[in-house]
Amino acid sequence: MKNPLDSLWGTIVCGVVLTVLLYFAAAALVAHAGSV
């Protein structure tokens, strides 16, 4: 399988996907902080 980081678009798409995943992680952390 080709490494997505070999292309600029692959790098950007990976960055955007990572942003979405980490956004949900951050929202969960903030919700947890608010509930304690």
Partner 1 sequence: MLSDAILRWLHVLAGIMWIGLLYYFNFVATAATKEATAAGEAGPIAKYVTPRALLYFRWSAVVTWVFGAGLLGSITAANGMNGFLAAFSLQSNLAPIGIGAWLGTIMLFNVWGVIWRNQKKILGIVPATDEEKAKARRTAFLASRVNTMLSIPMLFFMVTGPHQSIYH
Q: Which residues bind partner 1 (CB under 8 A)?
A: 3, 5-6, 8, 11-12, 14-16, 18-19, 22-23, 25-27, 29-31, 33-34
Between CA 36 and CA 29, with CA 33 as vertex, the angle to 5 degrees is 140
Between CA 17 and CA 25, with CA 22 as vertex, the angle to 5 degrees is 140
- State the minimum distance, in angstroms, from the CB of residue 16 to partner 1: 6
- State the minimum distance, in angstroms, from the CB of residue 24 to partner 1: 10
Whether 12 and 2 have beta carbons less than 8 Å apart is answered as no
- State the minimum distance, in angstroms, from the CB of residue 1 to partner 1: 15
